[in-house]
Amino acid sequence: MICTVDATHDPNLRSWVESANQAGSDFPIQNLPFGVFRRQHQVDPPRIGVAIGDQILDLAACSQLGLLQELPDSVQMACTASNLNPLMALGRMASSALRHHLSQFLSAAQPPPATDDILVPMTMAELLLPATIGDYTDFYASIFHATNVGKLFRPDQPLLPNYKYVPIAYHGRASSIVSSGTPIHRPIGQRKAPNETVPTLAPCQMLDYELEVGCFVGKGNTLGEAISIEQAEEHVFGLCLVNDWSARDIQAWEYQPLGPFLAKSFATSISPWIITLEALAPFRGQAFSRSADDPQPLPYLNSATNQQQGGINLRLEVWLTSAQMRQQNLPPVRLSSSSFQQMYWTVAQMLTHHTSNGCNLRPGDLIASGTVSGELAGTEGCLLESTQRGSKPLTLPTGETRAFLLAGDEVTLRGYCEQAEYTRIGLGECRGIVS
């Protein structure tokens, strides 16, 4: 089932939180993404909030004040938890009911509540990981990324024959997923240049970002029971931005024959707000249109609904500032702009494939899409592609060049949905400065 457009997406809706009504806000009343925060410099436990304009609506406070009483007890309880896992576990009906309630509560058609204890300015808050992430799986769902990377390593056969049949993934490390803004330490690892005979242990010299979209699992599935393509989106809570930081020199030496390991597990950054599938309903569209000589997905990965509505018209961008750019007060430079709708596999196909062997997904598990790259120059989702493995460095506004990331570089990922007749919504930012 695909979420449908309803009264919560009405572009005429306004909020009594004024900043939410400003054009270009990532968090208008039509968005209502969930996250976990605490007031900075305070030791109170993490609590659940909803981004609205430049404020956070404190759901624990709302619950304590009886402002959520119309909702089922289970939803009220989940709103007082220290992470989103309990709300995720309740499934789509619960998050949808909460969304409808909050849409009405925050609407300018209602008088603002007498208390101001329920709003926290986002700049005052510490934004945390939104869920306890039990497992993290990273796919490889952009055929353009797979082809571009394949060309660098296997010019004769860039795309391996399994790619168009099986959504490729590796099992990532959940423990090193960090919230946006966490500094990224350059990893040390085994590297061996082609002209060297033995590897050495040394700091990574080819540090890279990967622009990805993350999907948080909502309701889980029982071990041994696969999720069908028709049911897949019932198990999705929402999306965020993911930067799968990658050490290319470590990766090149270690990845065969079992795939990525320490080149990836040193850090993965995610954005703090989870945009629900309900919020994304107006921005759904066709899945990737395969050319006539491409095979159709196997039946378990194929459905008419997924083909017609499985895509998400989500624009994605990568921005960079160097330390020198910041010293000179220069604005960030955009390195990439692409569309999530260009992915070869949809979110539903990735999730369905993941469970096809009976593997159980649990609430709060994170499934990332793999690097999002398009077909054209300027759409590459990582430096490995855009600099051709470092052979064609980029030039920054200061005149500095970059083959890979240097100390002090800040990478910011952004995402937003924009479509005629609907209010723009954003995913916010995913940031990290590398050492």
Residues known to be catalytic: 145
Which range touches Ca ion (CB under 5 A), out of 127-135, 205-213, 268-276, 295-303? 205-213
Shortest gap between Cβ of 408 and Ca ion (angstroms)? 23
Q: Does residue 380 interact with Ca ion by CB under 5 A?
A: no
Tell me the number of residues near Ca ion by CB under 5 A. Answer: 3
- The residue among 26 and 244 lying less far from Ca ion, judged by its C-beta, is 244
For Ca ion, the closer of residues 30 and 268 by Cβ is 268
DSSP secondary structure letter of residue 110: S
Please give the residues from 323 up to 362 whose contact with Ca ion meets the rule CB under 5 A: none
User: Is 244 or 410 the residue whose CB approaches Ca ion more closely?
Assistant: 244
253 versus 422: smaller Cβ distance to Ca ion = 253
Q: Of 141-149, 207-215, 313-321, 324-332, which segment contacts Ca ion by CB under 5 A?
A: 207-215
Annotate each residue in 113-152 with x if it binds Ca ion (CB under 5 A) or - if it does not, as one string. Answer: -------------------------x--------------
First to last CA, the chain: 44
d(CA 266, CA 191): 15
d(CA 173, CA 188): 17
Q: Does 210 bind Ca ion (CB under 5 A)?
A: yes
Minimum CB separation of residue 81 from Ca ion in Å reads: 30
Reduce the DSSP state of residue 432 to 3 states and report it: strand
Please name the residues in contact with 341: beta carbons below 8 A apart, sequence gap of 6 or more.
285, 286, 288, 311, 312, 313, 314
The amino acid present at 168, given as its one-letter code, is I
**Nearest in space to 238 (alpha carbons), one of 23, 50, 47, 10:** 50
Do residues 15 and 105 make contact, with C-beta atoms less than 8 angstroms apart?
A: no
Residue 140 in contact with residue 48, Cβ under 8 Å?
A: no
Residue 208 binds Ca ion, judged by CB under 5 A: no
Name the residue whose CB lies closest to Ca ion.
244
Closer CB to Ca ion, residue 90 or residue 384?
384
CB of 210 to Ca ion, least distance (A): 4
Contacts (CB under 5 A) with Ca ion, residues 232-271: 244
Closer residue to Ca ion, CB minimum distance, 244 or 317: 244
The amino acid present at 277, given as its one-letter code, is L
Q: Tell the smallest beta-carbon distance from residue 176 to Ca ion (Å).
A: 13
Kindly report the number of other CB atoms within 10 A of residue 190's CB atom. 15
- Please name the residue ranges forming H helices in 112-258: 143-153, 248-254
In the complex, the smallest distance separating the C-beta of residue 135 from Ca ion, rounded to whole angstroms, is: 15
Q: How many CB atoms lie within 10 A of CB 293?
A: 5
Binding site for Ca ion (CB under 5 A): 138, 210, 244
